[in-house]
Amino acid sequence: MRIALTQQDPSPGVGHALGVLVQPRPQFSLSHLTLLQQSPPALVELAAQAGYDFVGLRVIPLNLPGEPIHPLVTDARLRRQTRAALKSRGLKVLDVELARILPDTDVSRYLPGLECAAELGARHVLSSAWCADRNFVRDQFCRLCELARPLGLTVDFEFVTFAAYARLDDAVELLSGCGCSNAGLAIDTLHFARSGHRPEELDDLPPSWFHYAQICDGPLEFSLDESELKFVAREGRLYVGEGGVGVAEIVDHTPSMPYSIELPNACRTAILGDELYARHCLLTARRCLESRLQKCREGC
């Protein structure tokens, strides 16, 4: 177990006078994918009302069928509205997505998106690989890191169960081979569990790779059929602690960092509405992780 106890400001009732090392309260971001139909300014407002610390924004669209497009890169007015909402609500942008590495595609095309991310104050850029040529992927990922570094951005690689880089081993090989100081590993708890990994596999990875993680739960029983994996990932995720992913156990084996709640669920948002759904996502994640943290404190 690698729960990172730190000397940040303690929670109420816990002091340093006793020499106690404490874990800070977990910080949470509302991922754009959770409520992709919301415009960026509206997502900021909704996240603030629900009590989130950050938001994540889809600056680089995937151009999937039916995907809502929010043209932050090309629409100066939308960027101004988003910056104004962030300032008035006191929220920061944790990450932007998604700089995919695709066959025969130069990642330099993402530079306007990276510049937009920096303008909005983002910290991290999410990337993934959908190409089987490992030399090409390594070169393009390194190039992406080079483009992001002067802008103060890290590039965090996510392995996706139904992508070319589908396992933790794939991501570790890539990061170990690139040697870029601003490269990172973004664990998505759903993909981590669906790929058959054990939380203990994270223990020996460099702590410097971990900047943030994406958290959600998923059904205890599942199929490895690609269409089913995609359906759950894109519109059928579950509240943290509700399913069989073991989110808290995975988080136990990573350093302390912010958690992006990436939890799209079409049925629940239709029933609850976006704001109430966002509140439930945060409440359940906080309850699960803070309960786990309290158990650690009591056992330390």
Q: pLDDT digits over 175-202, tens only?
A: 999 999 999 999 999 999 999 999 999 9
pTM of the predicted model as reported, rounded to 2 decimal places: 0.90
Is the CB of residue 145 less than 8 Å from the CB of residue 183?
Answer: yes
**Residue in the block written with tokens 């629409």:** 75
CB within 8 A of 120, min separation 6: which ones? 57, 59, 72, 79, 82, 83, 86, 93, 96
* Angle, CA 122 vertex, CA 46 and CA 113 arms, to 5°: 105
**Residue in the block written with tokens 């020996």:** 204
Predicted pLDDT at 2: 52
Q: What stretch of H or E contains 56?
A: strand 54-58
- 28-200+207-299 classified as CATH 3.90.1150.10: no
Three-class secondary structure assignment of 169-219: HHHHHHHHHHCCCCEEECCEHHHHHHCCCCHHHHCCCCHHHCCCEEECECC
Specify the 3-state DSSP secondary structure of 137. helix
Predicted pLDDT at 138: 98
Q: How confident is the model at residue 290 (pLDDT cuts 50, 70, 90)?
A: confident
Is 5 a residue whose pLDDT tops 60? no
- Across all residues in the chain, what is the average pLDDT? 91
Task: Give the amino acid at 215.
Answer: I
Predicted pLDDT at 273: 97
Is 6 a residue whose pLDDT tops 60? no
